[in-house]
Structure 1
Amino acid sequence: MSNNHEHGEIIIDSRMTFAEAIAGTGAPVHVIRELCLVDVLYYSFDGRLHQGQLVAHQSVKQEVEEIFALIRRERFPIAKAVPIVKYGWSDSASMAANNTSALNYRRVAGTRRLSRHATGHAVDINPLQNPVIYRTGRISPKGAVYQPGTKGTLSEDSPVVRA
């Protein structure tokens, strides 16, 4: 990807190799074999074009690329997209940093069931704007607020959701 772009310099949020992006994941080899590193371009909250990366399942690579092309066209802001290895595989630390991520080999909180993130089939976008809201009313990450209509927040009216 070139840094010469019609919108000025691209800010690099992540430029890892696949090996760097999965180091220490804990995922079994059969899961790792089905993953890929997806380079994505997006506008961040600073209004500038950024390059990040997601580790995703190969079967969703094209869909991730298409959604991020839409995100870029719509100028829907993404705080950052960095493989969660940067946060020591801590879901809490990644979410607290408002990091958009996919792969994190983990179980669904409070269960024995693997999360869709465990195989790279799910993406969390701007978790501080789009938190998990549990049936009990608890919100994760701590301090996050869901306010539809604010920048970077997904809602049923969002072009990103409608796609």
Structure 2
Amino acid sequence: MGKTAILMAALFAGQAAWAERGTQSDVPDAMWQRMQGVSWHEGMGCPARATLRLLTVPFNGFDGAQQLGQMIVAGEVAAEVLDIFDELHQAGFPIERMQPVHMFLGKDDLSMAANNTSAFNCRVVGGTTRLSQHAFGTAMDINPVQNPYVTSGGTSPAAGKAFDEAAERTSDVQGIIRAGDPVVSAFKARGWGWGGDWQSLKDYQHFSRSGH
């Protein structure tokens, strides 16, 4: 086989790989160690390591390039989460970043400020002692800057203030999530709830299996 043919074969193989559905695996030893006391805390009632799955997910980057990201979810939802993100990938929906929350010291505000799409984080709901749905690995946040958490007390992350009013939430905003779009439709088709439907506040980035 000539050099040109080899290069073309590699190119097509690479394109095929990007077109494939994501994969799931056990949480690796080194990653689990980094999660200790950061995104997983003993004694809080969060899932055991054996019940969590590491997903490796192809996605469309904000720069137009094909990328691979990772997130951790509960094993019970791993397959359907991979199905959802495969739909979003095929639909061309853009995501800026996708890394496990321990990469941001387990801090939700740092992950949001980085516009990071993530799922599992063993933490409580802010201002309460109640475990977040993220603590069970059955909730995720997508593009938090373009899809901020909005209450009467303010908007998080701070950069999300550019996208917290209805007039700003237009379809031409890269990475935005809107009612009836492919993102909301993919989650709702599998019974997940969207924080953009909430009445007392809006959490446009948030999807959860329980609806909370």
Coarse TM-score class (shorter-chain normalised): 0.7 to 0.9
Letter in 2 for 1:46: D
- Give the whole-Å Cα distance in 1 for the aligned partners of 2:158 and 2:30: 28
Is residue 159 of structure 1 aligned with residue 176 of structure 2? Answer: no
Q: Which has the larger radius of gyration?
A: 2
**Matched residue, 2:135:** 118
Change (3 A) 1:45 1:107: same
Q: What are structure 1's unaligned runs of at least 5 residues? A: 11-16
Is residue 67 of structure 1 aligned with residue 76 of structure 2? Answer: no
**Matched residue, 2:101:** 84
- Give the whole-Å Cα distance in 1 for the aligned partners of 2:31 and 2:138: 16
Summarize deviations over 1:115-142 as a string: whole Å, max 9, x none: 00011110100000111112x1511111
- Give the whole-Å Cα distance in 2 for the aligned partners of 1:7 and 1:138: 44
1:122-161 matches, within 5 Å, as 122-134=139-151, 136-144=152-160, 145-146=162-163, 147-149=169-171, 150-161=173-184
Letter in 2 for 1:103: F
Summarize deviations over 1:32-79 as a string: whole Å, max 9, x none: 331110110000101111001110000110111011101111110010
Letter in 1 for 2:28: F
1:14-29 matches, within 5 Å, as 18-22=28-32, 23-24=35-36, 25-28=39-42
> How many residue pairs are counted as aligned between the two chains?
155
Letter in 2 for 1:129: Q
Change (3 A) 1:159 1:81: same
**Matched residue, 2:166:** none
Change (3 A) 1:9 1:159: closer
- Give the whole-Å Cα distance in 2 for the aligned partners of 1:8 and 1:36: 21
Q: What are structure 2's unaligned runs of at least 5 residues? A: 1-9, 20-26, 164-168, 187-212
Question: Quick check: 2:40–2:121 contact (8 Å CA) kept in 1?
Answer: no
Q: How much has 1:9 moved relative to structure 2?
A: 8.3
Q: How much has 1:27 moved relative to structure 2?
A: 3.2
1:28-47 matches, within 5 Å, as 28=42, 31-32=47-48, 33-47=50-64
Higher helix content, 1 or 2: 2
**TM-score of the aligned structures, taking structure 2 as reference length:** 0.66
**Matched residue, 1:50:** 67
Question: Quick check: 1:7–1:49 contact (8 Å CA) kept in 2?
Answer: no
Summarize deviations over 1:70-112 as a string: whole Å, max 9, x none: 1111110010110111111111111110000001111111111
**Matched residue, 1:14:** none
Letter in 2 for 1:18: P
- Give the whole-Å Cα distance in 2 for the aligned partners of 1:55 and 1:84: 9
Change (3 A) 1:114 1:8: closer
4+ runs of 1 displaced by more than 4 Å? 7-10
Q: How much has 1:26 moved relative to structure 2?
A: 3.1
Change (3 A) 1:154 1:94: same
Give the match's secondary structure for 2:141: coil
Higher relative contact order (CA 8 A, sep 6+): 1
Q: Percent of aligned pairs with the same residue?
A: 35
